[in-house]
Structure 1
Amino acid sequence: MTSFRLIICAVIVVLLFLAALAVFSPLTLLNALTWSDTKGVVLKNLSYGEEARQKLDIYGPVPTEEPPSVVVFFYGGNWNSGSREQYGFVGKALASRGIMAVVADYRLSPQVTYPAFVKDAAQAVAWTLKHIGEYGGNARKVFVAGHSAGAYNAAMVALDPRWLSKYGESPAALQGWIGIAGPYDFLPIVAEPVRLAFLYPDTPVDSQPIMHVTAAAPPSLLITGSADTVVNPVKNSGRLATALRTAQAPVQTVSLKGVGHGLLVAAFSPILRSYLPVLDDISTFVFRTSAAARGE
């Protein structure tokens, strides 16, 4: 097949996918179109705390002799919506690359406000560090990741030691962290739902991840789309990357031209992986960072 025909086929696939998104709930469709291309363990509804929403699911890769690296993933939704069941396609995607995924819920606004959801994220990560070995994962190779609001949660856990310390852990125990279209420097707050979640106008200045950058930050991967109109990639990921580099903390950045906010997480689905390399970038980062930590 010629390259021209391949391009035409790719365009048709993407157009059909976008047409389907107009009919079905995007997350429902993504899960429906995600086949399980791994025969690893899947464990659901595990508790990392006592609250109803303090639950997580584990998606394991095909077992190997060496325990796999682990990514704890937090979804987005303005801190007022979302559930781990909607993001099974993310867990399956990571497992298909030989990475154990932990997809965790956290409490939402308006039932709670900042910093409750950050505490939940830290508690889920601390649970993973303490217990993932019991499920076949490597507790010495734990990464935290998220998309949008979930990327904020991941950033706060990785950069601000206050939160993991509440559960007897430290960011130093993390192998690295991954932020996908995350808000890291968003004062003053414009979006009304976010204002409620962050007690605006009394939002603490230290609620911003960029305030907690030090040379001790775990290695970072920041993924953005140039067409993101929901979370400004220059103000947020751009400024955070600059702050990390200034502090001489390791950081990698990826900007996907013409890609918007939602497509950055939709890229985990099998139908879009070939066109949007988000999963490739994350897998490469996880394995290279793990190898570097071992001195390979």
Structure 2
Amino acid sequence: MKLWLFILLLSVSSGFAQITYELKENIPYYDTESQKSDAYLKERCKLDVYFPKDTSNVVTVVWFHGGGLEGGNKHIPEGLLEQGVAVVTVNYRLHPKVKHPVYIEDAAAAVAWTFNHIKEYGGSPDKIFVTGHSAGGYLASMVGLDKEYLKKFNIDADKIAGLIPLSGHSITHFTIRKEMGIAGTQPIVDKYAPLFHVRKDAPPILLITGNREKEMLGRYEEVAYLYRMFKVVGHEDVELMEMDGYGHNMVYPAIPPLLDFVRARIE
């Protein structure tokens, strides 16, 4: 092996070896008084922070799990491990113990916590990207597009560096429709729909779905309509990606383009 190549490989491998990661688990993201007043909130409204140690000003990805607003638990997608970014992964309260808009309010509280505390973990409040899969993608969209939820925590939603919903509802979520007595096959667009909150000045957006023939309940088509409406209102940084060969469970192949989108917007 040529000497210069050996030195390059050694320096690269040494650089990677210097980065270690830490995981802080089950951090409450509501204040003490809120936890005292609601046992389910105290049990459920916690997050984990996974971060590269001894760093500063790093990108943070807030991840909301899927599960139809009825199930699921916080976790870190494999593709986000050891990527030089901090990951905040969130539990939120679930149907039927709560109903809308509690899910969205919890998501906003977790994002607000991230803005207020991520510096303690080496992150930058100017580099927070919000994402999630399915129901989690829906929550990411709602928190970033309807500014009222974060406004309650004195956070401007436009300070989010980017929104990356993976196969998330763009119409009103089917569990919320069920709570309203509306069939899952009856689409509606009301204030609980990301489509209702399309605006030109929203954060940069990457919309990712599975293949339109493999996705669930017309998911590709509603996301494509969201993309088109952002174009109509003149949003200058919105992308739509369809993952050919994959259906609704397309998280793993979506992580590399997610990271590409993130890195392109902080360089």
- Shorter chain as denominator, the TM-score bin is 0.7 to 0.9
- 1:98-154 Cα deviation digits (max 9, x unpaired): 111000000000011110000000000000001110111111100110100110000
Alpha-carbon distance, 1:231 to partner = 4.4
Residue in structure 2 matched with residue 48 of structure 1 by the alignment: 29
Alpha-carbon distance, 1:94 to partner = 1.7
1:261 aligns with 2:252: no
Alpha-carbon distance, 1:195 to partner = 3.6
Residue in structure 2 matched with residue 31 of structure 1 by the alignment: none
Indicate which of 134, 144, 162 corresponds to 1:148.
134
Indicate which of 60, 73, 81 corresponds to 1:70.
60
Indicate which of 198, 219, 222 corresponds to 2:204.
219
1:121 aligns with 2:112: no
Structure 2 Cα separation of the partners of residues 253 and 239 of structure 1: 10
Tell me the SS of whatever aligns to 2:52. coil
Contact kept? 2:172, 2:192, Cα under 8 Å: no
Alpha-carbon distance, 1:201 to partner = 3.5
Residue in structure 2 matched with residue 8 of structure 1 by the alignment: none
Residue in structure 1 matched with residue 255 of structure 2 by the alignment: 279
Letter in 2 for 1:43: K
1:108 aligns with 2:94: yes
Alpha-carbon distance, 1:279 to partner = 1.7
Letter in 2 for 1:239: Y
Residue in structure 2 matched with residue 81 of structure 1 by the alignment: 71
Query: Which ranges in structure 1 are unaligned for 5 or more consecutive residues?
Result: 1-37, 268-275, 292-296
Change (3 A) 1:247 1:100: same
Structure 2 Cα separation of the partners of residues 234 and 128 of structure 1: 30
Structure 2 Cα separation of the partners of residues 82 and 234 of structure 1: 22
Letter in 1 for 2:244: K
Give the TM-score normalised by the residue count of structure 2.
Answer: 0.82
| Percent pairwise identity | 33
Residue in structure 2 matched with residue 169 of structure 1 by the alignment: 155
Structure 2 Cα separation of the partners of residues 186 and 117 of structure 1: 13
Contact kept? 2:209, 2:220, Cα under 8 Å: no
Structure 2 Cα separation of the partners of residues 93 and 288 of structure 1: 17
Indicate which of 124, 143, 146 corresponds to 1:157.
143
Change (3 A) 1:186 1:172: closer
Alpha-carbon distance, 1:232 to partner = 2.2
Structure 2 Cα separation of the partners of residues 247 and 99 of structure 1: 32
Contact kept? 2:26, 2:46, Cα under 8 Å: yes
The higher-RCO structure (CA 8 Å, 6+ apart) is 1
Q: For this pair of structures, how many residues does the alignment match?
A: 233
Change (3 A) 1:255 1:229: closer
Indicate which of 194, 206, 210 corresponds to 1:209.
194
Greater strand fraction, Structure 1 or Structure 2? 2
Change (3 A) 1:60 1:143: same
- 1:141-177 Cα deviation digits (max 9, x unpaired): 0011010011000000000001001111111111011
Tell me the SS of whatever aligns to 1:41. strand
Structure 2 Cα separation of the partners of residues 185 and 140 of structure 1: 29
Contact kept? 2:205, 2:239, Cα under 8 Å: yes
Structure 2 Cα separation of the partners of residues 156 and 128 of structure 1: 17
Change (3 A) 1:201 1:233: closer
Tell me the SS of whatever aligns to 2:120. helix
Change (3 A) 1:132 1:151: same
Structure 2 Cα separation of the partners of residues 139 and 109 of structure 1: 31
Structure 2 Cα separation of the partners of residues 154 and 168 of structure 1: 18
